[in-house]
Amino acid sequence: MPDPKQTLNKGDRNKIYFLIVVIAALLGTNAFLYFKDRYEKERFVTTSTEKDRLKLEVEKIEVEFDKVNVLNVALTQKLQEQQELARAKIAALKLALQKGQFTQTELINTQNELVQLKKFIANYKEDIIRLEKENTFLKAERDSLEKSVQTVSNKAHRLELKNSELGAKVKVNAALKAFNAQLSAFKVKSSGRNVKVSKASAAQKLISTFNVIPNQLAAKDYHKIYLRVFDPTGNLVANENNMFEADGQEMQYSEMITISYNNDDTEYQIEWVNPKPFIKGTYSVILYANGFTMGKAATILK
C-alpha cells in the first residue's frame, strides 16, 4: 500500500511543474509582446525619420531644379516636356509624403522614385547647361559676325566717303575754267554789225569773250556756260525764271549758251542784250560751267 506522503508529494510536484510551465509561457508571451512592441515602435520611428529625410530631399531637388530653370535659355520642345514631367514627379512625391501612414513598401517605392528623379533632374541639368553653352557659343559667333559686318560696313562707308571725296575732286578738276576773259559793250548798227562802245548811252549789249584752260580731265563734249550780269549798283540783271545750280546753291542767270569743248585754243563768246537802258559805271559778269565758277570779267561805261 502506497505511502500517503509520497502520493501527496507527487501531486504537489505536478502542480509545481504546471505552475512553472504556465509562468514560463506567460514570461515568453510577455517577452514576445515586449520585443514586438519595441520593434513596431522602432519601425515607426525609422519610417517617420525616413519620410522626413525624403521630404527634405524632394525640397532640395525642387530648389536645384528651380535654379537650373533660372538660366536664361530658350528651351527646346523636348526640354519643355522634360521640365513639365519633372515638376509633375516632384508634385507627386510631395503629395505622397504628406500621407499620415506610410508602409515599408510605400517607403521603398518612394525611395526608388526619388533616385530616378535625381537621375532625371541631373540629365535635365546637363541638357540645360549644354544648351546654354551652345547658345553662348552661338551668341559669340553672332557678335563676332556682327562685328565683322560692322567693320566691313565701316570700311565700305569710309571707302564710299573717299570715293565721294575723290569724285568731288575729280568733278572740280574736270570743270571748265576760263582764262583771258574780257567784257565789252556794243551797239548794233542798222546793218546788224556790232560796234564796240564805251558810253552807257550808246551801249545795247555786252559781249564776254573767253578761252578755256586746257584740261585733260574735262569731257570733250557739249557744256553749258551760264552768265550772270551785275549792274553798277551791284544788282543782278536776270530773268527770275532762269535758274541753275552752281557752287552748291540754286541761282538765277542772265544768259546761257552751249559750247562744244575739244580741249583746244578755241575762243568762245556769249552775248547779253540789256532789257533796260545801260547806266554809267562798272558792269561785271561771272561765268559758270559744270556747277562751278568759271571766270569773271568787267567793263566801265562812261
* Residue 157: pLDDT over 80: no
| Choice among 35-44, 162-171, 255-264 with the minimum mean pLDDT | 35-44
How many Å apart are CA 121 and CA 117, to the nearest integer?
6
Both 46 and 111 in one domain: the answer is yes
The length of the chain, given as a count of residues:
302
List the domain range (segments joined by +) for residue 88.
4-135
- What are the pLDDT digits (tens) for 1-13? 455 545 546 666 6
SS (H, E, C) 5-73: HHHHHHHHHHHHHHHHHHHHHHHHHHHHHHHHHHHHHHHHHHHHHHHHHHHHHHHHHHHHHHHHHHCCC
* Residue 29: pLDDT over 70: no
Task: Say what the pLDDT of residue 167 is.
Answer: 60
The three three-digit cell numbers of residue 222, written as one number: 557739249
Both 120 and 191 in one domain: the answer is no
Number of domains in the chain: 2
How many Å apart are CA 227 and CA 257, to the nearest integer?
9
Averaged pLDDT of the chain: 79
- Domain presence at residue 172: no
pLDDT band of residue 45 (cuts 50, 70, 90) is very low
Task: Say what the pLDDT of residue 270 is.
Answer: 95
How many Å apart are CA 238 and CA 244, to the nearest integer?
12
Task: Say what the pLDDT of residue 43 is.
Answer: 47
More confident residue, 39 or 83: 83
More confident residue, 55 or 242: 242
- Domain presence at residue 148: no
- Domain presence at residue 223: yes
Residue 86 and residue 65 in contact, taking contact as beta carbons nearer than 8 Å? yes
How many Å apart are CA 73 and CA 56, to the nearest integer?
28
Residue 216 and residue 263 in contact, taking contact as beta carbons nearer than 8 Å? yes
pLDDT exceeding 70 applies to what percent of the chain? 75
More confident residue, 62 or 168: 62
Question: Which domain-ending residue is among 135, 169, 192?
Answer: 135
